[in-house]
């Protein structure tokens, strides 16, 4: 029982870190983006990736070793909706991550580099799409945990 509680706690902790980092990215992606902010953005994006991996790993631990067991989750349509949405959010994170990697390369080559406004807006749009999709994950989790949809 304690192990199940720890899996849940680490899962929630990873989710909270992911939300904070995603919010920090959205806040930094403004028209007045500075070279220093670009460096922070690259760090935040790495943290975002690590937290997403931790969310996935802790979720798999809950699925395989948790108290409810894999059968509970695998037969629930909300579990599949939640996983699908998680994958969709991960796909939405690819364009900004590629952009941030390019900016990191440009920052190393040109100290003081600041991205163009259209690039900033495009990256922010993807971050905001992911942020807005993320809102539905807790809803799917609540429906799943209560067995709604069996």
pLDDT in tens, 13-56: 999 999 999 999 999 999 999 999 999 999 999 999 999 999 99
Cα–Cα distance between 21 and 31 in angstroms, integer? 19
Instruction: Look at residue 149 in the predicted model and tell me its pLDDT.
Output: 76
Q: In the chain, which stretches have pLDDT less than 50?
A: none
Q: Which pLDDT does position 142 carry in this prediction?
A: 94
Q: Cβ of 78: how many Cβ atoms within 10 Å?
A: 20
Q: What is the mean pLDDT of the chain?
A: 95
Cβ atoms 115, 33 nearer than 8 A: yes
């Amino acid at each position: 029982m304690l192990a199940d509680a720890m899996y849940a706690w680490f899962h929630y902790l990873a989710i909270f870190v992911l939300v904070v980092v995603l919010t920090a990215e959205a806040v930094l992606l403004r028209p007045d983006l500075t070279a220093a902010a670009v460096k922070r953005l690259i760090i935040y994006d790495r943290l975002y990736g690590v937290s997403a991996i931790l969310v996935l790993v802790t979720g798999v631990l809950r699925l395989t070793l948790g108290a409810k067991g894999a059968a509970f989750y695998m037969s629930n349509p909300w579990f599949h909706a939640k996983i699908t949405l998680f994958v969709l959010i991960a796909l939405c994170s690819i364009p900004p991550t590629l952009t941030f990697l390019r900016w990191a390369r440009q920052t190393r080559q040109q100290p003081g580099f600041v991205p163009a406004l259209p690039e900033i807006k495009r990256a922010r749009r993807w971050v905001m799409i992911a942020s807005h999709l993320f809102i539905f994950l807790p809803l799917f989790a609540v429906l799943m945990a209560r067995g709604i949809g069996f």
